[in-house]
A and B are shown apart, each in its own frame.
Chain A
Amino acid sequence: NAGVTQTPKFQVLKTGQSMTLQCAQDMNHNSMYWYRQDPGMGLRLIYYSASEGTTDKGEVPNGYNVSRLNKREFSLRLESAAPSQTSVYFCASSRYRTSGTDTQYFGPGTRLTVL
């Protein structure tokens, strides 16, 4: 099992450009998440999907959109990138739809720089 995979690993954008970050998991998990990690801020939830066909906003959703394409894949789109979106983006998944007892498995991250 590959676990959670993310593409690309690195990306440099100019202000105003758009891009989509891809995430896939092969663990048959129901829930998937997108986080951003900035120095000194820890991990902040952008969007999550409790199950296929549903998505909900997290703490910092502004400037992002998501698509839960199927049970395996959950993509994050930046429509018009801004320097404030420079960050490391992590995708994660967990088995259950709603439970506090389940661990989240993280992908390797995408390091995004917006100039």
Chain B
Amino acid sequence: QQPVQSPQAVILREGEDAVINCSSSKALYSVHWYRQKHGEAPVFLMILLKGGEQKGHEKISASFNEKKQQSSLYLTASQLSYSGTYFCGTESAGGGNKLTFGTGTQLKVEL
């Protein structure tokens, strides 16, 4: 079963912040975040492991709440280059590096 992402779409003005959520009904071992620009391949952003710390990548960071099986991606001071579709990929315990991807969150950053 696919993890649920929210919101489905968001429009920001440059410099604004956004939070994208990913929720699973299964016990998770890891959560992976990817960004995909229109017509391109998904590109890896970060991995969060069960028991691990919050990760950061420039002005993009993420957290993993193991009890709730949820992960959140935080984009601060958004830039035009942040536009794209963000996917979470979840791995269940014993999943063998198989990821189940959410349906994506479309983010558009405008001037």
Contacts and interface: CB of A to CB of B under 8 A. Distances in A.
Interface residues of B, number: 24
Nearest to A98: B96
Interface in B42-60: 42-44, 47, 49
A99 B101 CA distance: 16
Given A43-B42, A104-B44, A109-B41, A98 B97 contact: yes
Given A100-B29, A103-B32, A42 B87 contact: yes
Interface string B4-34: 0000000000000000000000000110100
Interface of B: 2, 29-30, 32, 40-44, 47, 49, 87, 89, 91, 95-104
7 contacts: A42-B102, A94-B97, A100-B29, A100-B49, A104-B89, A105-B44, A108-B41
